[in-house]
Amino acid sequence: MEQLCAPVLPGAYQQSQSQGYGYMHQTSMSSMRSMHSQPHSAGLRTYRAMYDYSAQDEDEVSFRDGDYIINVQPIDDGWMYGTVQRTGKTGMLPANYIEFVN
């Protein structure tokens, strides 16, 4: 049975594969915490969590595998903003932890 591993978070430290020196570098985090202004009705979609996620900062939301995330809006650099339907909490979440539903 194959076990799925959660993807690396945007802005997390990763080991460089191409350099071979074993040093760590930080992925791009430019403008990660800034929201783009969009019309409120445009781009609001529903996603489903593929992995559990525990919020790492006060502006993030925690969710469980299978939770539905509603009113999702893209931010940038692999982050989105939405509301966890089960808890009613709204905040930032990693885009690579969720999949589009409708």
What residue spans define the domains of the chain?
43-102
- Assigned fold of 43-102: SH3 type barrels. (2.30.30)
| DSSP structure class, residue 95 | G
Q: Of all residues in the chain, what percent are helix, strand and coil, respectively (each to 5)?
A: 5, 35, 65
Q: Cα-atom radius of gyration of the chain, to the nearest Å?
A: 15
Query: For residues 48 and 15, what is the distance between their CA atoms, to the nearest angstrom?
Result: 29
Phi, psi (degrees; rounded to nearest 5) at 14:
-130, 150
Q: So what's the pLDDT on residue 84?
A: 98
pLDDT tens for the 102 residues of the chain, in order: 556 677 777 666 544 444 444 434 344 443 344 444 344 445 579 999 999 999 999 999 999 999 999 999 999 889 999 999 999 999 999 999 999 998
